[in-house]
Amino acid sequence: MTLMAFRFALAPLLRLRQSLEHQRALAFQKASSHVARAQEALTRLDGFLEESAAIDSRSLAAGCMAADLHFAMLLREQLQQLRVQLQEEIRRLEALHEEAAHAYEQALAEREVLESLRARQRRAYQLEQARRQQQEIDAVFLVQRWHTGKD
């Protein structure tokens, strides 16, 4: 008796789903990285703005020239505008991150469905193979019994 190996008819589709899942996982990781970098830049900018305000306060108390303080104030205003733009960029990146997460979850679910189907088909195949083997064993036993009964 020769046993045929299990063959999953949808194997090419499963490989495609695995590949798509991998691509979506990479896109999700990239989106996560972009959000983290933008948030880190915002944190650094906030730290710089706080430090700049503290320096200006000390400079004012020390009797700094008004022109220097005015220049520092203009610089901080520009940095505040940059901060607003950076916050908008973070919101945009977070939206892309959410889209990437959803796409990854979808690809994962689609791959899992195919793998579940493959596992069920493999179990059914193995049960059928075991049933056939048992039928062959039973047939051999009956033939032997029949031959020994004739003697």
**Six-digit token pair at 93?**
């990146």
How confident is the model at residue 2, as a pLDDT?
Answer: 61
Q: pLDDT tens digits for 120-139?
A: 999 999 999 999 999 999 99
* Rounded mean pLDDT, 51-69: 82
Give the tens place of pLDDT for each residue, 2-47: 667 889 999 999 999 999 999 999 999 999 999 999 999 999 999 9
Tokens of 56: 């200006």
Residue predicted with more confidence, 2 or 63: 63
Looking at residue 3, what is its pLDDT?
66
Question: What Å distances lie between residue 47 and 42, 80, 89, CA to CA?
Answer: 9, 12, 19
Q: Residue 64 above 90 pLDDT? A: no
Residues 108, 27 contacting (CB under 8 angstroms): no
Mean pLDDT of 94-104: 98
How high does pLDDT run on average in the chain?
92
Q: What is the mean pLDDT of residues 88-117?
A: 98
Neighbours of 97 (CB within 10 A): 20
Give the integer Cα–Cα distance in Å for 141 and 151. Answer: 16
State mean pLDDT over 98-125. 97
pLDDT at 72 over 90: no
Model pTM? 0.75
Q: What are the Cα distances from residue 108, in Å, to 19, 25, 83, 118, 146?
A: 10, 9, 36, 15, 56
Question: In the predicted model, is pLDDT for residue 105 greater than 90?
Answer: yes
Which structure tokens are listed for 72?
């520092």
**Contact call for residues 38 and 89 (beta carbons, < 8 A):** yes
Rounded Cα distance, 87 and 91, in Å: 6
Is 2 or 55 the better-scoring residue by pLDDT? 55
Residue 104 neighbours by CB under 8 Å, 6+ apart: 21, 24, 25, 27, 28
